[in-house]
A and B are shown apart, each in its own frame.
Chain A
Amino acid sequence: MRNLSSLKKEFLRKWIKGLRKYNSQKKNMNLLERKKAIKLSADLAMASTKDKTTLWRKALFANTSTKIDDEQDMSTTSSTPQKKVIRKNSTNSYPLRKRITGRRKILRRNHTKERVEASFIAMRLVKKRTRKLKSLLPGGKFMDDSCLVDETLDYIESLKAQVEVMRCLVTSSELFINQP
């Protein structure tokens, strides 16, 4: 638990900085834009905690940098299609390695012999799930199994911290509004 609270503190501090900067930049922001800004700054703050160079943090940084660049280019269009475009761009501009997932699918189709033994079925199930997990984690495409498990451990821990801090902030701001 000590780790969690120190993580939260660090996250909060960095997030406050990011939020302040973002607020000072644009005043007339739409709700969705604001939400994006908050989420971005929260993600960045999360990714920069603990000084550990885990893969998902690096991937988060890469993703957010592409998002910010795209956002600056398309500041005139409305926000919701902008969001979709930004997301598409960020996934397509990932230049690091070949698309392994695509190849795997092609191999599957040509695979004639389907083994029905229990162990193979179990293996297939597990592989499906690991693929899904890889899609969830930022930067998960490029991790092997052992690395994946490590990263998910770290990621879950920091997500928990993030959620708790945000919840606290929401409740405090709600209270603040309602009080006076």
Chain B
Amino acid sequence: MEQTTLESIQFNEEIQGIMAPASETANSFTALLELPPTQVVELLHSPEITGKPPKPYPLTCDTGNLTFPSNTTARFSVLAGENKNSPEVKDEVPETEGGGCVSDPTIENKKSKGAKRKEREKKVKVSSKKIKSIGDENSGNGGDELPYVHVRVRRGQATDSHSLAERARREKINARMKLLQELVPGCNKISGTALVLDKIINHVQSLQHEVEILSMKLAAVNPIIDSNLESILATEGLSLMDSNFPATVAPVVWPETPHNGNRQQFQLPWQSDAFHQPLWGRGENNPNFMTPENSLLSYDSSANSDKDWS
């Protein structure tokens, strides 16, 4: 028992350390949403690794001193309190439930499960409306360390741990979906998961097709570039670091090799000086593309083998 509590404390310390900077408002995911999407992805990846909070609900209930299996809200904190420091938790419990809860654990122990559930639901309904949130947001809880996610229930909603866990999971998914919406252009105004998913699917498909098309283009160009790949790519690497290039040349029509009947032998002078100029003068050279393309290459293997490129 002690070992599990120690582990759960360490576990929770990690969660606290990650959740505290990320969530200053009540809802941690909305705070995350203020950040730009890429950063949020980074942030999201780290909590994922360290914390899987919803699972401990049933587990710790069994190991605790108390016997009620599934319980709501402040009861979770009561459980945690029972495991380590009861006075801290008892301070916190009256805040949320409006008093009278301190004696509850002992009373509940004696009741049967069916009666427990009724009592719980009553208490939820009687108590004031609570804000649903994931994360630790009790005001008097500066250094309080709870081993699991603190989830509050709205008035009139089911209070099983199962539905709570499900709701937590759904909220998580919805938060990620919002991030996705921001990443994919054109999704922001659409409401409704199915349509958003549609757009996301289209986006992924279009990106994949683009990769295919671009690799085909590169394959067409490649034999000529082979021997001086290094120098081109070195300068290419430099220029990539500097700026984002506008995709003005992307819609350039690349002639398909079968329709290009020319089988000219190309002898391009390999001069490293010539490389630097085109790279920097990129924007100006766009109109020159169409004319030389017709006299371009046939990427036949026989043509390649005649040349001295290595």
Residue of B nearest to A158 (CB): B207
A153–B198 Cα gap in the complex (Å)?
Answer: 15
Q: Does A179 contact B (CB under 8 A)?
A: yes
A146–B53 Cα gap in the complex (Å)?
Answer: 14
Tell whether A3 pairs with B241 under 8 Å between CB atoms, given A31-B299, A133-B197. Answer: no
Q: How many residues of A contact B (CB 8 A)?
A: 65
A129–B200 Cα gap in the complex (Å)?
Answer: 10
Tell whether A52 pairs with B271 under 8 Å between CB atoms, given A31-B299, A169-B236. Answer: no
A-contact bits for B249-292, CB 8 A (1 contact / 0 none): 11010000100000000001101001101110010010011001
A163–B38 Cα gap in the complex (Å)?
Answer: 17
A-contact bits for B188-231, CB 8 A (1 contact / 0 none): 00001110011011011101101110111111111111100110
A20–B233 Cα gap in the complex (Å)?
Answer: 11
Q: Does B176 contact A (CB under 8 A)?
A: yes
Stretch at the interface among B40-48, B91-99, B144-152: B40-48
Indicate which residue in A35, A152, A163, A165 contacts B240 across the interface (CB closer than 8 Å): A165
CB pair A146 B173 closer than 8 Å: yes
Q: How many pairs, one residue from A and one from B, have CB atoms within 8 Å of each other in the complex?
A: 201
Q: Does B169 contact A (CB under 8 A)?
A: yes
Interface of A is mostly: helix
In the complex, the 5 A-B pairs of residues with the closest C-beta atoms, listed nearest first: A35-B219, A129-B197, A34-B219, A175-B278, A166-B214
> Which B residues fall within an 8 A CB radius of A?
37-39, 41-42, 44-45, 48, 169, 172-173, 176-177, 179-180, 183-184, 192-194, 197-198, 200-201, 203-205, 207-208, 210-212, 214-226, 229-230, 232-233, 235-237, 239-241, 244-245, 247, 249-250, 252, 257, 268-269, 271, 274-275, 277-279, 282, 285, 288-289, 292-293, 296, 299, 301, 304-305
Q: Given A16-B230, A28-B304, A172-B282, output 7 extra A-B contacts at Cβ < 8 Å.
A: A5-B240, A19-B229, A20-B229, A42-B211, A136-B204, A172-B278, A179-B285
